[in-house]
Homo-oligomer: A and B are copies of this chain.
Amino acid sequence: MENYDVTKFDRPSVTVDVVVFTIKDIDLKVILVKRAVWPYENMWALPGGFVKMEESLDQAAKRELLEETNVKDIYLEQLYTFGDVKRDPRTRVITVAYFALINQDNLELKASTDVSDVKWFSAYNMPQLAFDHKEIINYAIKRLRWKLGYTTIGFKLLPNEFTLTQLQTLYEIIFNKKFDKRNFRKKILFLELIEETDEITKNVSHRPAKLYRFKKKIGEIIEII
């Protein structure tokens, strides 16, 4: 019974696609790549590609992101698997979508494999997209809001040191609404998740702000904010 024949059945192909978010220019941005190959040639799409036999899904997501956009060292979590029969014109393709957050410091996008361009687009104003990638991004925005409300994931979008105004602006951009400054600060400080540094903002033509840092270990995410 151990001579299992892998070729016995037709099999779907498996890809990964990654929705990378950052905050930039007071806006929520997503990385898109311009496809250089059929199908949907010259259309914008999520970075991603086929999963290789000898790599895990997470590894595939990281590899494709590096290959197509030059992005690495990023927070990555699995989002959802999209498997409609007709979602890809080539053949049956199931895609495992990933969700990634990065802060935009010293980050240089660079197109390569199968891709003619890479750019940040506003998540609230995207071009027409290949495949079902619009649906994937909308799903990712929902996940981002949900997690921002219930976990400390938001710190992944900020530099190591940040002001309370930056933190509040982050929440305002993602939830697309304003918060009261005093209440926001009261709540954040009460949670004891962040601590003051000795630094203040430089080169601003107004009162400089204290810089804070996230107290928990890099990578740690706590529930309930």
A35 → B minimal CB distance (Å): 11
Q: How distant is the Cα of A54 from the Cα of B83 in the complex, in angstroms? A: 11
**Which residues from 1 to 33 on chain A have a C-beta closer than 8 Å to any C-beta of chain B?**
1-2, 4, 6, 9-14
Contact in complex: A41, B83 (CB < 8 Å): no
Q: How distant is the Cα of A91 from the Cα of B78 in the complex, in angstroms? A: 22
Contact in complex: A37, B1 (CB < 8 Å): yes
A167 → B minimal CB distance (Å): 24
> When each residue 36-63 of chain A gets 1 if its CB lies under 8 Å from chain B and 0 otherwise, what string results?
0111010000000011011111000000
Q: Looking at the complex, which one of B4, B12, B80 makes contact with A38 (CB distance below 8 Å)?
A: B4
Chain B hits for A225, CB < 8 A = none
Q: How distant is the Cα of A78 from the Cα of B54 in the complex, in angstroms? A: 25
Chain B: CB-nearest residue to A16: B83
**Which residues from 63 to 98 on chain A have a C-beta closer than 8 Å to any C-beta of chain B?**
78, 80-81, 83-85, 90-92, 94, 96
**A-side binding surface: helix, strand, loop or mixed?**
loop
Q: Looking at the complex, which one of B51, B90, B91 makes contact with A12 (CB distance below 8 Å)?
A: B51
A120 → B minimal CB distance (Å): 27
Q: How distant is the Cα of A217 from the Cα of B4 in the complex, in angstroms? A: 46
**Which residues from 88 to 116 on chain A have a C-beta closer than 8 Å to any C-beta of chain B?**
90-92, 94, 96
Contact in complex: A96, B81 (CB < 8 Å): yes
**Which residues from 125 to 179 on chain A have a C-beta closer than 8 Å to any C-beta of chain B?**
none
Chain B: CB-nearest residue to A38: B1
Pairs A–B under 8 Å by Cβ, sample size 28: A1-B41, A2-B38, A4-B38, A4-B90, A4-B91, A6-B91, A9-B50, A10-B53, A11-B11, A11-B12, A11-B14, A11-B53, A12-B51, A12-B53, A14-B14, A14-B83, A14-B94, A51-B83, A54-B85, A56-B83, A56-B84, A56-B85, A57-B83, A57-B94, A78-B80, A81-B81, A81-B96, A83-B96
Instruction: Identify the 7 closest CB pairs spanning chains A and B, nearest first.
Output: A57-B83, A1-B38, A6-B91, A4-B90, A81-B81, A10-B53, A81-B96
